[in-house]
């Protein structure tokens, strides 16, 4: 149960629902991804996803001039399976990197970190946040994350036809969670140039991600030279804030069923919102990254898989089934990735 003594911004409410040390959704080590959990990710499909990320690691390491040591950082590792798959593929397909790669997992939850340590073993280093490298940035690093940013807490806003209201969560007379409003600070839609409100319907609701900019800055400070690969659901700002998207992108998932009431079952429901890729790109450029355009996961993974597909022996049927699931536009392949 996530308690509230008075109106709180939805951003604070969402952060507590997901990350409260005692009651947050992601703080429970037993939360499972896949058929027995509340949601699927590309990792649920099988080890091919990790194998293709390993191919990206080998490619980028070569492109960076083959540095003698390379930090390989994952944030949002959940149960650690993706890092296991990536390291296993590196050992088999790119063994020359075995003594080069230094794997690091970023995990703020003590309970989940303990579960990861039991599963991954002693080779991995753990950080509680990216800021642990701020005073001594890593010389060379590759960072990857799968569906991390769509779990960042978001602020919710409603346009009343004249001005923006910041949505909050409060208790009604029956002590049930309900919507409220807080005084709205000066507000603009990130990634949108010029006035946009004239085309929006009254009652229009949307989200912003206040934590995105600080996170990008922390990422930039964590290494001197490197690259980041982000797989996530999202859209560009013009689409994100389109007039027809009047209910925003926030939704919840529980037992593989979508829940459109984000106030239901707090701490028991996975809350997520699409990533504003325009905002992400602007923050990354401001932090010093060179940003490549977002592309669909299917396209990106196909590029990485091409050597495997064209070189004998032909991949086995199980490998091909996993790959087809990862790239199919109606399954995992419709997601976007951004490589700043």
Closest CA to 215 of 108, 315, 310, 68: 108
Cα separation, 251 vs 150, in Å, equals 11
Cα separation, 272 vs 148, in Å, equals 10
Considering the domain boundaries, does residue 175 fall inside one? no
List, in order, residues 6 or more apart from 249 with CB less than 8 Å away.
206, 207, 235, 240, 273, 274
Query: Residue 124 belongs to what domain range?
Result: 26-151+208-240+273-338
Question: How many domains does the chain contain in total?
Answer: 1
Considering the domain boundaries, does residue 179 fall inside one? no
Distance of CA 114 to the CA centre of its chain: 21
At 129-151, the pLDDT tens digits run: 999 988 899 999 999 999 999 99
Cα separation, 164 vs 203, in Å, equals 10
Closest CA to 100 of 64, 71, 62: 71
Considering the domain boundaries, does residue 86 fall inside one? yes
Radius of gyration over every alpha carbon of the chain, rounded to an integer in angstroms? 21
Considering the domain boundaries, does residue 161 fall inside one? no
Considering the domain boundaries, does residue 218 fall inside one? yes
pLDDT of residue 255: 80
pLDDT of residue 121: 86
Considering the domain boundaries, does residue 193 fall inside one? no
CATH code, 331: 3.40.50.150
Beta strands in the chain (DSSP E): 8-9, 70-75, 101-106, 125-127, 138-146, 155-159, 164-171, 177-182, 204-208, 223-232, 234-235, 251-254, 257-259, 270-272, 275-276, 295-296, 336-338
Contact 268, 16 (CB under 8 A): no
Q: Is the peptide bond before 313 cis (omega within 30 degrees of 0)?
A: yes
pLDDT of residue 186: 82
At 208-235, the pLDDT tens digits run: 999 999 999 999 999 999 999 999 999 9
Cα separation, 323 vs 47, in Å, equals 10
pLDDT of residue 334: 44
Residue ranges of the chain whose pLDDT lies below 50:
34, 36, 331-337
Cα separation, 163 vs 273, in Å, equals 23
Considering the domain boundaries, does residue 174 fall inside one? no
* Tokens at 153, concatenated: 């807490």
Distance of CA 121 to the CA centre of its chain: 24
Beta strands in 15-172 (DSSP E): 70-75, 101-106, 125-127, 138-146, 155-159, 164-171
Q: What is the pTM of this model?
A: 0.91
Cα separation, 13 vs 15, in Å, equals 5
Q: Where are the alpha helices (DSSP H) in 155-312?
A: 212-222, 237-240, 277-286, 297-310
Considering the domain boundaries, does residue 145 fall inside one? yes
pLDDT of residue 195: 84
């Amino acid at each position: 149960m996530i308690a509230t003594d008075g109106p709180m911004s939805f951003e604070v409410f969402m952060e507590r629902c997901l990350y409260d040390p005692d009651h947050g959704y992601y703080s429970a080590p037993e939360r499972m991804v896949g058929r027995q959990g509340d949601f699927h990710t590309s990792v649920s499909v099988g080890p091919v996803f990790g194998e293709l990320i390993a191919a990206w690691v080998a490619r980028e390491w070569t492109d960076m001039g083959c540095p003698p040591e390379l930090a390989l950082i994952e944030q949002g590792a959940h149960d650690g399976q993706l890092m296991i798959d990536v390291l296993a593929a590196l050992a088999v397909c790119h063994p020359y990197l075995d003594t080069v790669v230094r794997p690091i997992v970023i995990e703020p939850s003590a309970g989940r970190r303990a579960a990861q340590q039991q599963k991954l073993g002693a080779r991995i280093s753990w950080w509680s946040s990216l800021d642990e490298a701020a005073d001594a940035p890593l010389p060379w690093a590759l960072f990857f994350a799968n569906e991390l940013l769509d779990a960042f807490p978001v602020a919710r806003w409603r346009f009343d036809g004249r001005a923006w209201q910041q949505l909050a969560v409060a208790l009604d007379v029956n002590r049930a969670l309900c919507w409220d409003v807080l005084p709205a600070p000066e507000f603009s839609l990130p990634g949108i140039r010029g006035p946009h409100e004239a085309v929006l319907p009254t009652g229009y609701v949307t989200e912003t991600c206040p934590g995105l900019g600080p996170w990008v800055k922390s990422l930039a400070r964590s290494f001197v030279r490197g690259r980041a690969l982000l797989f996530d659901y999202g859209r560009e700002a013009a689409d994100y804030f389109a007039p027809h998207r009047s209910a925003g992108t926030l939704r919840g998932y529980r037992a593989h069923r979508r829940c459109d009431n984000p106030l239901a079952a707090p701490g028991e429901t996975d809350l997520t919102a699409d990533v504003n890729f325009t905002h992400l790109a602007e923050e990354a450029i401001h932090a010093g990254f060179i940003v490549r355009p977002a592309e669909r996961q299917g396209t990106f993974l196909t590029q990485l898989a091409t050597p495997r597909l064209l070189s004998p022996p032909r991949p086995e049927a199980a490998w091909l089934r996993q790959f087809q699931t990862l790239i199919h536009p109606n399954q995992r392949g419709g997601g976007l990735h951004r490589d700043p």
